[in-house]
Amino acid sequence: MRKLAFGYSTRCNIRCEHCVAVEDRVDSRKMDHDRAKEIIVEMAQAGVGGISFSAGEPFLYFNDIAALVHLCRQIGIYTRMVTNSFWAKTAESSDRHVSELKTNGLCQLRLSYSRWHQKNVSRNNVLNAARSCQKIGLNYFVSFVTDFSKADDPYEQFLRDHGLLFFPEPLIYAGRAAAFDRRQILTDYQSNCCDMNPYLTPDLDMYACCDAGSHFPETQFFYLGNLNDHGMEQLFVKTETNRLHNLIRTMGITAIASFSGMKARDIITYSKCELCRKLFNSPETLTRLRADVSQLEAWQR
């Protein structure tokens, strides 16, 4: 099933130091609402079965997004919203918002949480939002962004103390976090395959990756094109037939890194998106991988 991260607007009401969604500049682009509705219908025709409303803070355009969620439900598209929970200051406000989204057919709420988010939004907001979801019967989970340092222990403990459903997400060193000192981690020699859900920006540019990959400025490796010049189907097919994109999905980034000449000892110090950036945001490495793609496809045990 095709899925897509829908960037209705890049505007956000807070400014997290680690934000991947924007570079270090004020960025508040927004899609035209009627055009957004047309695109969603076009997506359904192209077989998109799931949309995640993300990018900036979607609750800043609450009525607009609620209407888009409603449209998705009418045409059979699964919907998720990603939020920093600023709107859940009180239990009443939280219940009201969650209830309205549930009525409009939202399928899941993803609550962003980290020691960076929580400098701007009280963690009690996240708790209120999760409690409203539990009460009203909306599926939710907390996305706990972490660099795996001890500083994150109290944040994780808070989630455990309140019995919230959460999943740790590695910090991505892109966007504003590109300026952070990268912490070397030691992972297992894992395959690092990636599903790569495409991302649509408010300017209708489409990327094959909805995370760090839409910020690979040296190569634009994941850029697919603009919806004003191409159809949705055409842009999906572009990534689905890209041989290197497919190897990221099936072979995984670790094997590609090894093929490219990286030492195993170095590979295990990178998280998935960092390794992806090292390979595919480097014009030299990318040129070599493109030239050797047939060998790479045959490089199997």
| Residues that bind ligand SF4 in the complex, under the rule CB under 6 A | 12, 14-16, 19, 21, 56-57, 84, 112, 117, 194, 196, 209, 211-213, 248, 253, 272-273, 276
Rg of the chain over all Cα atoms, to the nearest angstrom? 20
Interatomic CA distance for residues 177 and 172, integer angstroms: 7
3-state secondary structure of 71: helix
Q: How far is the CB of 288 from ligand SF4 (least distance, A)?
A: 18
**With respect to ligand SF4, which residue has the nearer C-beta, 16 or 200?**
16
Q: How far is the CB of 242 from ligand SF4 (least distance, A)?
A: 12
Q: How far is the CB of 98 from ligand SF4 (least distance, A)?
A: 18
**With respect to ligand SF4, which residue has the nearer C-beta, 251 or 276?**
276
Residue 238 phi, psi dihedral angles, 5° rounding: -60, -45
Q: How far is the CB of 144 from ligand SF4 (least distance, A)?
A: 13
Largest Cα–Cα distance in the chain? 59
Q: How far is the CB of 18 from ligand SF4 (least distance, A)?
A: 7
Q: How far is the CB of 131 from ligand SF4 (least distance, A)?
A: 20
Beta pairing partners, 206: 200, 225
**With respect to ligand SF4, which residue has the nearer C-beta, 40 or 276?**
276
**With respect to ligand SF4, which residue has the nearer C-beta, 196 or 235?**
196
Number of H helices, E strands in the chain: 12, 9
Beta pairing partners, 145: 169
**With respect to ligand SF4, which residue has the nearer C-beta, 71 or 192?**
192
By residue count, the chain amounts to 301
Give one DSSP letter per residue of 87-143, joined into a string.
Answer: T-SSHHHHHHHHHHHHHHT--EEEEEE-TTGGGTS-HHHHHHHHHHHHHHT-EEEEE
- Report helix angle 232-240 to 33-45, nearest 10: 60
Interatomic CA distance for residues 185 and 166, integer angstroms: 22
Q: How far is the CB of 41 from ligand SF4 (least distance, A)?
A: 27
How far, CA to CA in Å, does 213 sit from each of 102, 135, 166, 174, 263? 32, 37, 24, 9, 23
Which structure tokens are listed for 40? 């969603």
**With respect to ligand SF4, which residue has the nearer C-beta, 227 or 279?**
279
Q: How far is the CB of 45 from ligand SF4 (least distance, A)?
A: 26
DSSP character at residue 214: G
**With respect to ligand SF4, which residue has the nearer C-beta, 71 or 115?**
115
* Bridge pairing between strands 205-207 and 199-200: antiparallel
**With respect to ligand SF4, which residue has the nearer C-beta, 16 or 88?**
16
